[in-house]
Chains A and B, each alone.
Chain A
Amino acid sequence: MTEISVVSLKIDGVQVSVPEGTTILKAAKDNGILIPTLCDLEGLTPYGGCRLCLVEVTGSPKLFTACTTQVNPGMEVTTNSVRLKNYRKMAVQLLMSERVHMCAVCVANDHCELQALANQLGVDHVSFERHFTRETIDSSHDFLVIDRNRCILCTRCIRVCDKIEGVHTLDLKQRSKDTEVIMDLDESWGDSCSCTGCRKCAKVCPVGAIYIEGESATQTKHRDVAEFITERRKRK
């Protein structure tokens, strides 16, 4: 029997022991401490894009993304402080200001992770200039729709399409403010020949950017699909 080495560390003052190679995020979650995230999803490769899971590690002036940082023995992690809360609030505001986020007219209203997080953190206004983008809305697919104005570029859809479904229809084009989720060679979704229409992108989308025509977010959103399939595959 191979021995799994265990790492002991302190999260928010609580002594915890987790297997070596675990991320701070997972270690905290397994011990009942929830760190807010938007891009991370169990079953998918960590991305470190949303910057909401930032944590403090005693002895280092810089902040670490909990989803991509592995635990070290003797680490002392703080997941909640005034400084972190301010940074998280700022991150949510920046995401909100980047594109069009109008909850009242969004299909994911009340089923939106960005909205929930803004409520949880007490973001009651956006102190940055808001960009009301005019990105394309693609409804050429039989039932899948993408509204790029609502996209927060968390790449969950891309990772689920690549890792779980395995077709990698989706990817990002360009960079900075021009970044967009594309299908194949920037084709319209209806023309994409590699898309299998598995709907997993719509299920995991944290906001209302990808949705299914004529379906409410209550029906569509199943964000544990990636974890579920990953676990099932392990048993095979």
Chain B
Amino acid sequence: MTTNDIRRTRLEKVLKNHNYQESALLEILHSAQGIYGYLDRNLLMDIAGSLNLPPSHVYGVTTFYSFFKMRKPGQHIITACLGTACYVKGVEQIVVAIEKEFNLKRGGSTADGKLSLLCTRCIGACAMAPVVVLDDQVIGKATKELVIEKIRNVLEGVKDESE
């Protein structure tokens, strides 16, 4: 992270807007994630220093909320809904299948950084359970074969005909 980084300038503006108040930590983390895409250790240290807060406190707040990401997300993101309806309809098997097929763990990314697998609570589309979201595309009544094929297409840059 260099000081002439444009993102750092934007973050500085956010910090200034909040008057470097420690009580604004949550909003600042929120904005910082918006600017950088994710919150890495250097960034958290930077924010802790700017707000004069203990690093352990900033780290604690960041890890408390699942919204905050501490790792760089992959180019493509597949999100599985682990809500009750999707769970009952067997989303777990789909997640396991994706994990096995693309060799990654939930919450993590593939080694090449092309795909991230996230799990979330109910996305509110229970009638379509099990639901998986690939980038911005919602896949309802998903099966593992269908999902894996769609991910393959996205990774290979093949345009989806059904869109």
Q: Which residues of B contact A (CB under 8 A)?
A: 41, 44-45, 54-60, 63-64
Once the chains are docked, how many angstroms separate the CA of A184 from the CA of B64? Answer: 15
Once the chains are docked, how many angstroms separate the CA of A194 from the CA of B55? Answer: 9
The contact of A194 among B54, B58, B63, by CB within 8 Å, is B54
Judge whether A185 and B44 touch: CB under 8 Å. yes
The contact of A186 among B54, B57, B59, B64, by CB within 8 Å, is B59
Binds B, one of A11-19, A116-124, A168-176, A203-211: A168-176
The contact of B56 among A174, A175, A185, by CB within 8 Å, is A185
Residues of the A chain whose Cβ atoms lie less than 8 Å from the Cβ of B54: 162, 167-169, 171, 184, 194
Judge whether B55 and A172 touch: CB under 8 Å. no
Once the chains are docked, how many angstroms separate the CA of A109 from the CA of B121? Answer: 42
Jot down 25 A-B pairs with beta carbons below 8 A, ordered by A: A162-B54, A167-B54, A168-B56, A168-B57, A170-B56, A171-B56, A171-B60, A173-B59, A173-B60, A173-B63, A174-B63, A174-B64, A175-B64, A182-B56, A182-B59, A182-B60, A184-B54, A184-B55, A184-B56, A184-B59, A185-B41, A185-B55, A185-B58, A194-B54, A194-B55
Residues of the A chain whose Cβ atoms lie less than 8 Å from the Cβ of B44: 185
Question: With an 8 A cutoff between CB atoms, is A183 at the interface?
Answer: yes
Secondary structure type dominating chain B contacts: helix
Question: What distance in Å separates the Cβ of B82 from its nearest Cβ neighbour in chain A?
Answer: 15
Residues of the B chain whose Cβ atoms lie less than 8 Å from the Cβ of A172: 60
Once the chains are docked, how many angstroms separate the CA of A174 from the CA of B62? Answer: 8
Secondary structure type dominating chain A contacts: loop
Residues of the A chain whose Cβ atoms lie less than 8 Å from the Cβ of B45: 185
Q: Which residues of A contact B (CB under 8 A)?
A: 162, 167-175, 182-186, 194
Question: What distance in Å separates the Cβ of B153 from its nearest Cβ neighbour in chain A?
Answer: 35
Once the chains are docked, how many angstroms separate the CA of A22 from the CA of B128? Answer: 56
Question: What distance in Å separates the Cβ of B93 from its nearest Cβ neighbour in chain A?
Answer: 24
- Residue of A at shortest CB range from B56? A171
Once the chains are docked, how many angstroms separate the CA of A186 from the CA of B70? Answer: 12
Beyond A171-B60, A173-B60, A194-B55, 18 extra complex contacts between A and B, CB < 8 Å: A167-B54, A168-B56, A169-B54, A169-B56, A170-B56, A171-B59, A172-B60, A173-B63, A174-B64, A175-B64, A182-B60, A184-B56, A185-B41, A185-B55, A185-B56, A185-B59, A186-B63, A194-B54
Residues of the B chain whose Cβ atoms lie less than 8 Å from the Cβ of A173: 59-60, 63-64
Residues of the B chain whose Cβ atoms lie less than 8 Å from the Cβ of A184: 54-56, 59
Once the chains are docked, how many angstroms separate the CA of A37 from the CA of B135? Answer: 50
Residues of the A chain whose Cβ atoms lie less than 8 Å from the Cβ of B57: 168, 171
Once the chains are docked, how many angstroms separate the CA of A204 from the CA of B131? Answer: 49
Question: What distance in Å separates the Cβ of B51 from its nearest Cβ neighbour in chain A?
Answer: 13
Question: What distance in Å separates the Cβ of A108 from its nearest Cβ neighbour in chain B?
Answer: 24
Question: What distance in Å separates the Cβ of B65 from its nearest Cβ neighbour in chain A?
Answer: 9
Once the chains are docked, how many angstroms separate the CA of A194 from the CA of B57? Answer: 13
Residues of the B chain whose Cβ atoms lie less than 8 Å from the Cβ of A170: 56
Question: What distance in Å separates the Cβ of B146 from its nearest Cβ neighbour in chain A?
Answer: 32
Question: What distance in Å separates the Cβ of A197 from its nearest Cβ neighbour in chain B?
Answer: 16
Question: What distance in Å separates the Cβ of B61 from its nearest Cβ neighbour in chain A?
Answer: 9
Residues of the B chain whose Cβ atoms lie less than 8 Å from the Cβ of A182: 56, 59-60
| Residue of B55, B58, B64 with most chain A CB atoms under a 10 A cut-off | B55
Once the chains are docked, how many angstroms separate the CA of A1 from the CA of B89? Answer: 72
Residues of the B chain whose Cβ atoms lie less than 8 Å from the Cβ of A174: 63-64
Question: What distance in Å separates the Cβ of B121 from its nearest Cβ neighbour in chain A?
Answer: 13
Judge whether A183 and B56 touch: CB under 8 Å. yes
Once the chains are docked, how many angstroms separate the CA of A51 from the CA of B55? Answer: 29
Once the chains are docked, how many angstroms separate the CA of A183 from the CA of B54? Answer: 10
Once the chains are docked, how many angstroms separate the CA of A170 from the CA of B54? Answer: 9
Once the chains are docked, how many angstroms separate the CA of A184 from the CA of B57? Answer: 8
